[in-house]
Amino acid sequence: MTTDRETLLKTLVQRLSTIAPELEAELMVPDRPLRHLVDLDSMDWLNFLVSLHEHFGVTIPEADYAQLVTLNDLVDYLQKKQV
Please report, as ranges, the residues that interact with other proteins according to CB under 8 A.
20-22, 39-43, 46-47, 49-50, 53, 59-63
List of E strands, 43-83: none
Identify which of residues 38 and 71 has a Cβ nearer to other proteins in the complex. Answer: 38
Closest separation in Å from C-beta 4 to other proteins: 25
Closest separation in Å from C-beta 18 to other proteins: 12
- Other beta carbons within 10 angstroms of residue 24's beta carbon come to 11
Closest separation in Å from C-beta 50 to other proteins: 6
